[in-house]
Structures are given as structure tokens and as C-alpha cells.
Chain A
Amino acid sequence: MKRWQKWTVAAVVVLAAVGGSRAAGWWGTSPSDDKSALNYGLGAEIQTLDISKSTDQYSNTILGNTESNLLRVNSKGDPAPDLAKSYSVSSDGLTYTVQLRSGLKWSDGSALTAKDFVYTWQRIADPKTASQYSYLTSGVKNADDIVAGKKPVSDLGVKADGNTLTFTLEKPMPQFKYLLSFTQFAPQKESFVKEKGSKYGTTAANQIYSGPYKLEGWNGTNNKFKIVKNDDYWNAKNVKTKTINWQVIKNPETAIKLYKEGKLDRASITGSPEMYAANKNNKDMKTVSVAASTYLEYNQAKNPYLQNEKIREALNLATNRKELASQATGGSRDAAKSLVSNNLVKAANGEDLSTYVAPGYSYDKDKAKQLFAEGIKEVNKGKMNVTLETDADVPVSKNTVDYLKQAWESTFGDQISVTEKIVPFKQRLQDSQNGNFDIVVSNWNGDYQDGSTFYDMFKATDTGMNNGQFKNQDYIDAVTKAESTDANNPSARDADWKAAEAALKNSANINPLYSWKGAYLTRSNVKGVVTSPAGLTLDLTNAYRK
């Protein structure tokens, strides 16, 4: 054999060896009727299993199904006891007392105690942890000072006594029960976190689990892993599925393809307007509500045109939300009625909160023209040149700014010139935070199913979300009332939210565009899946294949 032939053979052998080692399941399997396993896709990699530091919905989905908290949101949207046996709220709404179930265990068999809850609350508030969600502890006694580094974590109003946990709040927070179901506040075992040190949460083995499943096969970077039934979970007898396989699929088209091949049990179709149009009539299509709103923020600190209320109102009136939702998003979003997203939570009178508080945003081209002309005259700087910024990461965003540019320029003629600025998400975020924009398309994904997750955004100029930097006293008064005197009175609180929405609309501080929804192809033989608009959006605790 000549030398080059030897090389060729060697190369072929190497190729065959490398490939052969992976050839175990040559063509894969067809799993859509395997009753012991379910199959789901994640839109991006798991970033971390560090409970206090997770910020993305994908890590959150895995954590939420493998870790439990005191409460777990049920199919009706109510937080119901999970690791807690029961809980009670004092009549002033300031003290939550929680009884833990007895005999709770971690997935390594060790005892799960009330101290693990105290530790998790202290850890997320501790500035040394550098959690991006530390603000969620706000409202618990001393939390703000601890987060700011002014008090030690031991001062936090979360205390353990035997099997009893006591939460002391600084103000009544009706939404607090949702926080008790939050993944970021799931228990953490101090000795385990300390032992793992900088490796904590970096692989499946560097975390222990308190939830219905435990994660296996995630080495920190791979794209395929599974969650398997956790026999140490208190309610393991009601967990019917042994294995749930996950794979990271970044391309939504690919997920739909895998769904149609039976390899996934769920695939989102809201990736783009075209995808939505192509799949919305599929018999497996199901919509779920999502606690997210998209709205425009007007820079009222720096832009003289946008400081003028008439101009802002004119821009709002020249926005046809129904047409925007149907044309720019292809129906994959619903027209906004208010700042709060549609189907977030029911108001005390049984109506959907977004309907109850709706201040009546409308489309009126003639009035818009008249107000705009008046506003331009008042500002007295000539034609309005304005940039409209959005991030390129959500496909409908570009369509949205295209639509708005066209709508405004056709309404106001040569008095306005709109420049589109489409940038990566992180740049948009930085521009928003630095006030480096004229008008920006903002999205807010609510933290929990309560109006305050939306209304807290604009109650001050330093909330981190008030990028337009406006101060609307009527709004602030209404929100303050809802969070103090009316906190324990649901219908009065709803009325306050309604007043807050009206104040926002009257001053045209923002421009609500559309409310998000989830639309998925969903396998009909998979039962028991719980979806929520906020928090843990996909809960597979009781999911099984029939």
C-alpha cells in the first residue's frame, strides 16, 4: 500500500471511529406515543441552575419543574400549598405564617427544613450574590436596606421556628402569595451551596432538587438533557411521568418540524407573523395567556417635542392598535386595551383586569392631526424629527416600527419625519436605561399575576422601568393608594388601578400597542399541563401522556 493510500485509510478509520461512537441511535426513535416519557423543547440553553441568579425563562422553566416552593400555582391560577402544608395571613396583611409539611426531603435524601427558605431569601437579597432579581424582595421587612448593603442579611423579615416560617412585610402585598411560588425564592440548602462554591448550579450534579423532577444529563453546555421523577418529592405518588426529555431548539421552524414528526409535544408558533398565519388553523393549536405588554415610551426628560402633551396625545390617537395587531403582528398579538396585559388576572367583579381598567384608547386621525399641529406650534422648533427604536430580537418588532412610521408620516405629513433604529436587545436596554432615545418600543413581561407588576413600573422615575422619565402625580397617588390603604380591599384596589390607567392615558405618558399571547401546537394526548401567564409558564408536575 502506498503512503497516500495508508493516509486515506487512516482518515476513513478516524471518521468511522468518531462517527461510530455516536451511531447508537442511528435514525433516532419516534416517541409521540411512549407513555413513560414526554418531550419538550427549550428556546435557548439553560444559563444557570443557581436559583437566586437565574434571569431567563428557559433556565426558569427547568428550575420551576425541578424545584418546589411553599406554594405552586394551580390550573385555576391560584397559588396552592406545595411544600407548605398551610398558610395564613394576618388581618392587616403584614404577616404571613406558613406551616411546612413534615418530613420534606431534598433529592439527596437530606431533610428540607424551614431554614432552607430563610437562606434562599437572604441569599437573593444579599448584595454579594449580585442577583438581578433582588428587587423582588422589596416589601419584606428591611429588604430594601439589605439589597442596598445598608443592613446585614440577618435583619430580613423572614424567620424560621421549627416547621413554621414567618414573613414580616413593611406594607400589605396581596401579590405576596405569588412570590411564595416563585422559582427565585425556592429553598436552597446553605451547606450545599457553600460546599459547591463557585460551581453551584453549573451542572445537573451541582444542584439538588426539591421539586417533582430532578435534572439529569446537563453538563453545563450540552443541548439535550432530561428531568426524571424525584422519588424524594413529598407528592411523588401523583407524579405520573418518569422522564421528560428536553432539547434546545433555537430555530422555531425546527421546533414545529419536530412537533409534526412527533418528536416534541409542544411547539410555539408565534415566532413570526408568517409562522403564525401558517399554523393558526392547525387542529392542535392552543393559545395561552402571557403576562406581557408592548408599549411605546416617550422620552419626556430630553425631547422637547415629546415633553409636549398634545404631541404625545396626537401620536397615541394616530395609532390604530387593531390594525397594528392584525397587520404588523399578523394576529400573533392582541391589540392593547391598557398597560396591563390581557388575561393576566380577574378583577374583583369577575371581569378581566385589562378590560375593567381600560381607559379607552382610541384611533382618531382628525383629532390627532389637529392636536399635532397645535403641539408643533407650541414647541416652535419646526418639523419634528424623531427616532423610533426597537430591538431586532423579536421578529414582529421591525414590522411594528415600519407600521408606526408609515401611519404617523401619512397622518402628520411633512410635519414629522420618523427614523427607525433597530438594534440588538442589550443595546436597546442600555439606550432605554440611559435615556438615549426619543421613542422606544418597550416590552414588559410581568413577574406575577397581579396588576402591581405593571403599575409599579411608573410609580417613580428610578424604578428602572420608567425610561421616559415622567412623573404623573395622579398616577402615583392612585398606585400608592392601591398599595397602602386599599391593599386589603380587592375592589377598591382595582378601582385604583383603573384610576392609574386613566391618569396614564390623560397625560399620554406611554402608548400601549399590544398584549402578548402564547400560541402552541400541543399534543392532545398530553394531559395535566399547567400554564401560567407569569412565573412558571409551563408546569409539568402532573403532566402525563394518556
Chain B
Amino acid sequence: MAKYILKRVLILVVTLWIVVTATFFLMQILPGTPYNNPHLSASAIAQLNETYGLDKPVVVQYFDYLINLLHGDLGTSYQYQNQSVSMLIGQRLPVSAQLGLQALVVGILLGLWFGAVSAKNQNKKMDGFLGIISTLGISVPSFILAIVLLYVFGYDLGWLPVSGWGDSFSETILPTLALAVGPAATTTRFVRSEMIDVLHSDYIQLARAKGLTGTQLIRKHAYRNSMIPILTLIGPMVANLLTGSTLVENIFSIPGIGQQFVSSIPTKDYPVIMGTTIVYAAMLMICILITDILTAIVDPRVRLK
């Protein structure tokens, strides 16, 4: 196990290096200037480039960046003057994490419930209805849903705040829902098919023969074995929530890392683009690693190699 984890961590470092390199060189072909003021003369731009080290050859800039990165220095933002990238990300990450966690919990709880209801009512009206809902949930992107929710509950009905973060819990409801629908739909589908399998298995037949009723059967026997595949889903789900939240954060004016990522690209804020990409990549890989380890712990049939 220890050996396995070590190996995975090494792979993670190499993958990160590839991500850093690819992002760094892709960024160079991104058109646009990193400076805001249109009134800069060519000599002023040359001077700014010198200050920021942008006049050096790209390869030199690349190694400079790598060396700083190894020292844990992600650089200073061009757009947010004087702000270090690690601070920008460090303060925004908890906001995105809270949003992601809320969405994950809501999504999985809803999914477990709907999945079980679907399986129990297999091929009945309720199953069909939930099937349509979950297909919609999977196919409609979270940012479209966010705008619909914003329009209906924010503008039309006026029940919930339309933007902001940090003042009240009510502000988090709409973005959480927008993000939770995807995971809920995926979980519903998985739980349904898994539970249908389980419900046809021998030990359930035995439990049924012993006289257990439907609800008891599901709660005490069927759920636990249907949960295992859900665990493997959580890793990719966290990934989807993080990347999905970039646009949702923008729509609701939430000061999370996603909003930062989205705005750094058109403004050509090189250090922030690099920093957020690295943090995203690292988080995704760590999530998947944790999921793999958890799966092995929960399901002894899985062997880590």
C-alpha cells in the first residue's frame, strides 16, 4: 500500500510538471498584452517588459518559473498589482471548496434517494419520470442551469439573492443547486442500476424469503452494496464540480478560484493563469488518488498494484 501511494505521488509530480510545461508554452501563443493602459508607448511597454522579465527568451522565463515554483513561489499577479498569486488563490480556494462541498453533499444525498426510489419502482411511472429528470440533469451544463435558476428564483420570484457571497447562507443556495444537479443526476443513474443488480442478487432473494419488506430491504441490505460504485464516482465528480464552478462563480459574483481563473485568461495575467492551473491539476489528481485508496479500503475485492 505504501509503495503504491509513493508510486502514485511520483506520477503526480511528473504529471504536474507536464501540466506546468504545457500551460507555460500554450500561454505564450495566447494573443494579447498583459498591460491595461492603452496609452503606453513602445518604449514604456519595453520598460515594463523588462521589469516583469518578459523581455528574456521564453526558455529562460520557463526555467525561472520552474525554479521559483520549486521554492514555492507562484509569482505576483500583473492584474492585481502587488498581490501574490498564492494569496489570491489561498483566499479564494476556501470559497470554492465550500461551494463544491455543499454541492457534492446535496447532489449525492439527492442522488442516493432518487436512485433508490427509481430502482424500487423499476419500469414504473416514477422510474420513467426520474429517468427523464436525471438525463436532463446530466446533459444540461451547470452554467445554463445557473442562469435559469437565477432568472426564476432570483429575478422572477425574487425568493433568493441574485449575487454575492459571505453575508448570508441564502446567497449560497442557488449556486449550490446549480452545481448539485449534475452530481445528483449521475448518482441517481448509478445507484439505480447498481441497486437493480443488487435487488436481483441471491442474498436479497434470501432476505425477501425471510419476510423483510421493501423499505427495510433497501435500507438495511441493498444500499450498502450499491454504495461502492458511488465512491469511485466522487473523484471525477469533485473534478466536475471544480471546473464547472468556474462559470457558475462568475454568474453569481462569487469570489472563488474559478472566477479568478476565468478572468485571468482574457486579461493575460500570466502568473495567475499558471498558478490556478497548477492548483486545479494538483487538486484533481489528489482527489482521484484519494478515491482510489478509499475504494480499496471499502471494497476488499479491489487490489492496489
Contacts and interface: CB of A to CB of B under 8 A. Distances in A.
B32 A249 contact: no
B253 to A, nearest CB: 5
B220 A423 contact: no
Contacts of A393: 266
A248 B38 contact: no
B78 to A, nearest CB: 10
A426 B33 contact: yes
A3 B298 CA distance: 12
B231 to A, nearest CB: 11
Given A48-B83, A426-B34, A464-B44, A23 B169 contact: yes
A23 B80 CA distance: 31
A220 B34 contact: no
Contact of A462 (B41, B253, B267): B41
B40 A132 contact: yes
B162 A429 contact: no
B105 A254 contact: no
A257 B162 contact: yes
Contacts of B250: 250
B123 interface: no
Interface residues of B, number: 67
A111 interface: no
Contacts of A27: 168, 170
A429 B36 CA distance: 9
Nearest to B265: A424
Interface string A41-67: 000010110100111100000000000
Interface string A190-223: 0000000011111000000000000000011111
B43 A444 contact: no
Contacts of A47: 79-81
Chain A interface extent, by class: 35 or more
Contacts of B108: 11
A55 B82 contact: no
A311 B82 CA distance: 47
Contacts of A28: 161, 167-168, 170
B224 A4 contact: yes
B41 A464 contact: yes
A465 B167 contact: no
A31 B182 CA distance: 36
Interface stretch (B56-64, B86-94, B239-247, B279-287): B86-94
Tell me which of A55, A224, A426 has the highest count of chain B C-beta atoms within 10 A of its own C-beta.
Answer: A426
Interface string A1-24: 011100010011011001110111
Interface in B33-50: 33-45, 47-48
B155 A14 contact: no
B38 to A, nearest CB: 6
Contacts of A254: 162-163, 253
A335 B104 CA distance: 52
Contacts, number: 195
Contacts of A465: 38-39
B33 A221 contact: no
A433 interface: yes
Interface string A356-374: 0000000000000000000
A4 B172 contact: no
Contact of A18 (B76, B98, B254): B98
Given A55-B36, A426-B266, A130 B48 contact: yes
Contacts of A462: 41-43
A48 B82 contact: yes
Contact of B253 (A8, A24, A223): A223
B169 A26 contact: yes
Contacts of B101: 14, 18
Contacts of B253: 223, 247-251, 254
Contacts of A426: 32-34, 266-268
B293 interface: no
A132 B35 contact: yes
Contacts of A220: 80, 83, 87-88, 91
A413 B51 CA distance: 50
Interface of A: 2-4, 8, 11-12, 14-15, 18-20, 22-28, 45, 47-48, 50, 53-56, 127-128, 130, 132-135, 147-149, 198-202, 219-224, 247-251, 253-254, 257-258, 261, 393, 423-427, 429-433, 442-444, 457, 462-465
19 contacts: A2-B220, A12-B105, A25-B168, A45-B80, A55-B81, A147-B44, A202-B82, A220-B88, A221-B260, A224-B167, A249-B164, A250-B250, A251-B253, A253-B155, A257-B155, A257-B162, A258-B163, A462-B42, A462-B43
